[in-house]
Every structure is written in structure tokens, then in C-alpha cells.
Amino acid sequence: MSTNSTTYPNAHSAYSSQGTTTPEPEFELPQGNAPIHPTAVRTEHAITVDSERTVYTPEHITAKFDYRAAHVVRTPEGQIKVTPTVTPYEFRTARKVQKTGLMMIGIGGNNGTTLCATILANRHNISWNTKSGVQSPNYIGSLLRASTVRLGTDPATQKDVYVPISDMLPMVHPNDLVLGGWDISGAPLDAAMRRAEVLDYDLQRQIKPLMALIKPLPSIYYPDFIAANQSERADNLIPGNDKQAHLDHIRADIRAFKQTNDLDRVVVFWTANTERYSDIIPGVNDTADNLLAAIKSSHSEVSPSTLFAVAALLENAPFVNGAPQNTFVPGVIQLAERVGGFIGGDDLKSGQTKLKSVLAEFLVNAGIKPLSIASYNHLGNNDGHNLSAEAQFKSKEISKSSVVDDMVDSNRLLYKAYDPNATKEEAKNFKGKKGEHPDHLVVIKYMPAVGDSKRAIDEYYSEILGGGRSTINIFNECEDSLLATPLILDLTILTELLTRVQYRAPGAADFKQLHPVLSLLSYMLKAPLVKPGTDVVNSLNRQRNALDQFLKACLGLDHQNDLLLETRIW
């Protein structure tokens, strides 16, 4: 699109959306002539696996996969016995990508407006002027659209062959997502985008007519769950205090959105304010039936995010929680298992925590012992404003603080395991039943002047050889919403894909869907939700490897490791 001044006639009257559809205006939009960025290019699924274990039909890709693991047992004598195991599975992936809608709670916030503007700019190829020159729209920062995976080697050159992750299996192109959602602020998205102060002015100027057509649906507002400083925004609310009526209203919104846009699938995504933690109360939210009864009686401990999650599950719409609160109380997880709905969370992992999961793992794997990790943040967007309240900060602190736990558990040479019989001296560095653990401090401060440009300062203080000490300090400045937006896209697109994947275990007659808790989304999340009774994996490398291996398994490919045996032997 030309970056000269452009006027769109009757922009507000051409099409009016109350959060139910992505606008396709009646007025003519000049189309951009800049080259489409590689991350936004639309490609047909081009990977074909030439193997008798992988079968293609017009409807499905069906692949046989041997899941190799090992059972490890410690004998009373202290010996370790390892028994390799092989379990044959079949994966079946529906090839037809579903027409998918994304309904965001908090669509008028920094993340919601940035995501909508990004998709619209890419869809219409709108380029804009910056002080550094002309900028084209792209999807940089998206794991699926902007990173690659190693498939194998070219036999002619012996060079590694990499492909975009989005080419591994048929996936939704982000340009095709139909956008809508709710917000407690009724500002149309052009005004909300201006309020967010995230995007360059020239992009805002050009995208404004399209953004003005998107108006948030009324949302629910329970003041006890978010900071009091958010009350001034709350002018677009579903009336009343009856939580059952609110649930019914949200369910009707999801149905209308799906029907209006002729969608196959709706994904509901919480990108609204961080809530305080909900108390887990027996008889209230500990089971699916108790939770549904608590909603019916409008119990005070049913949070807005939990209500939205229940509504989505009852409408067969996957729900992803992009904030740190405990939306998925036990009753929600049980409801998901009962109805076969999909859930994923918690809390977008975009900057400081992602780096921490990498650096802490590096130090521990190098045999270096972190003694303390101190993390300080300040930011000036509305997320920071909300987190300035103690109860909401506590939710964020919890999600940030657990990120190093599994790295510590992996190395009991450096960190002593919990021992109830330990002496006082032996237990002086224990952190409860975690055993020995680095001191870990997280601080978040609200600094309005810096806006969306978050500052993060980390100090890693470690023990090295002979009682020596090593200190690593990192200063990280990032534009918060520009890092978070691609994660929302990745989580939405992966969620849609995983609804089309089924598996068949040994001896089973039929294929069945994956477990409702989508732990494969963990790479994008600070506090990954996992199947009840299983351990959380926070290691970023393991999370990425798990996703890569799963996508390959759906194609019948064994995981390509880095042994590179052909380079080690004659």
C-alpha cells in the first residue's frame, strides 16, 4: 500500500462488526506492492514422506511411529537397570484445515489490538514508513512461521535440509483467522490501538479504517479479580451479577460468531488482565459438577477466566489461557476430560522467562551451580498497571518462579534432594519439599513513561570450582506486545492442528483424540499446564524438541538427532 495520505470513504458506515467477524470493508482498499515477507508467504503443503509406514489419502495422513523410551529401576544395591522399550503408535491427521475463528477476551488490549493490526496489515500487504525506512508486514517472532526444523540430509550434498515448521503439516495461515472477541472497554479497535501506543504511527494511520470496524463484545467484570485501577475502563459489560446468565450469554456469543462466519472451529483465548489466584474450595471448584453448581449459584470464587473457559468447553471451542492466574481449577480440567474439549495454558512466555529457562539449563548442564536468580522488571503498559496490585502480581510471581524447578531436579549432584531426616545443617538450603534450590526473586514495577517497552534485569549468581563465584548480569529491553502477539498466533494455530490429530495405541480398534490438556503448547507458556499426574517440563530445549518430534511422528519420521553417526565413523 502506498504510504501517502489515504482516505477511505464511509469507513465507519461501510461495515460494522460487534466483535463477530473480521471486517472485509465495502470500500476499496489499495493493495500493497511490496514483496511479501517470507514469514507471510502462503505455501501449499509440500512435504511427502516416501515410506510404507506413511499413507496419504485425500482426507488423512496416517503414519506408523515407534515410540522409543526406557524404564529405569534402581536396585536395593544401588545399581541402575535400564530396559529399552518400543511402543508402536499410529497417528492420523485430517488434511483439511478448518476455517478457524479466534475470539480473544481482552481484544481491546495491547496484545489484542496488535494481533488484529498485524493480521490485517499482512492480509492487505500494507507497508509503512518508519524513521529507518519502509517496513513490510511480517510474522517474525512466530515459532511456526519464522523458524525451521531439520528434516534430514540431502544425499547428493550431505547438507542438512531445513523447512519452516508451518510446512510440516497442513496448518491455518494466520491471514485466514477470523477475528473477534470481548473486552470490558467498548472502544473500537482503532481507538484501542491508539491507546496502546505499540504500533508505528504510519501503520496506525493506514490500518485505522479497518480497525475501526471491529468493536468488542460486552464482557464480564468481577472487580474482586483484577486491580481496582481497571475500573475506569469497564464501560462495556454484560449486565447483572448472575454468573449462570453470564455463562449462557458467552456461550451464545461463541455460537453466533461461529454461525455468522460459517466457521468449522473457534478458539477462545484469554489475553485480558491477570486475575488474582482463585481459592480451591472443596465443594465449589474441585469437580466439574461442583463448579457448574457454583456458577449456577453465582459463587464469589468463580473467576471471569474460569467462566469463559467453561463456556468455551461447553461449546466445543478450545480455550487457551495467556495469563498466569489459575483459570484451570480442578473442576475445569475434569470438565474438559468429560466433554472432550481442549485446554492449554498458562501465561505467555515471551522474554525474560524464556531466556531464564535457557540460561538456567545451560548453567546446570555445564555443571555450574546457580545459587540465586534475581529478576527485576518495569513496564508502563496496562499489563504493568494491573500488576501493580499485590494480588495480581502474586499470580505473575508464581508463574515466573517455577521455571527452573525441573532443571534443579535433573542434577542432584549439585542440589540435594529433600530428605525428611536431614540434619538442620544439611537442610539449611532446602526450600520446603523442593529440597535444595536456588534463591529466586521476581520483582515487577509499573513505570508509565516506558509504555510497552519493558525492561528486564537478571542476575545469575553461581558457585564454580573450589568455592568460587560467577555472576552473570543481563539487561533486556523488549516491546512486550510485539513479542507476545506471535505467541498468540502460534498457540491458536497449533491448537487448531491438534484438534485434527488422532492416535491409535497398540491393541486399540479405533483412533481417538489427544488428551484434553494440550501440553505440546508448552514452548510458548511460562507455567505449562500438563495432564494431571505428570511432571511439568520447563526446559525450553526439551519443549521445542517435543514439538518437533511430535510433528515428525505425525509424518512417520523418526526424530533426527545430532549424533551424526556418518561423520564419526569410517
Residue 163, burial from CB neighbour count under 10 angstroms (0-12, 13-18, 19+): middle
On the CB side of 237, CA atoms within 13 Å amount to: 15
Instruction: Give the active site residue among 215, 258, 356, 526.
Output: 526
Question: How far, in Å, are 109, 173, 208, 505 from residue 126 at the CA level?
Answer: 22, 17, 12, 48
The per-residue DSSP string of 225-267 comes to TS-GGGGGG--SB--SS-HHHHHHHHHHHHHHHHHHTT-SEEE
Grid cell at residue 2: 502506498
Instruction: Give the active site residue among 208, 400, 454, 552.
Output: 454
Place of cell 495422513: 61
Instruction: Give the active site residue among 208, 243, 354, 396.
Output: 396
The per-residue DSSP string of 334-361 comes to HHHHHHT--EEES-B--SHHHHHHHHHH
Interior/surface letters 531-555, b for 16+ CB within 10 angstroms, e for the rest: eeeeeebbbbebbbebbbbbbbbbb
Using alpha carbons only, give the angle 253, 254, 260 rounded to the nearest 5 degrees. 85
**Active site annotation includes 396:** yes
Query: Could you give the CA distance from residue 487 to residue 104 in angstroms, rounded to a whole number?
Result: 13
Q: Would you say how long the chain is, in residues?
A: 570
Cα torsion angle, 226, 229, 235, 236, sign = negative
**Active site annotation includes 347:** yes
Which residues have a Cβ under 8 Å from the Cβ of 191 and sit 6 or more positions away? 212
Give the distance between the most distant pair of CA atoms in the chain. 82
What residue type is assigned to position 457 of the chain? I
Instruction: Give the active site residue among 253, 347, 458, 480.
Output: 347
Query: Could you give the CA distance from residue 399 to residue 222 in angstroms, rounded to a whole number?
Result: 22
Report which of 278, 355, 403, 320 is spatially closest to residue 105, judged by C-alpha positions: 320
Question: How far, in Å, are 225, 302, 325, 497, 515 from residue 282 at the CA level?
Answer: 20, 13, 19, 35, 25
Quickly count: other Cβ atoms within 10 Å of residue 372's Cβ: 13
Which residues have a Cβ under 8 Å from the Cβ of 551 and sit 6 or more positions away? 149, 165, 168, 169
3-state secondary structure of 390: helix
**Which residues are the active-site residues?**
347, 396, 454, 526
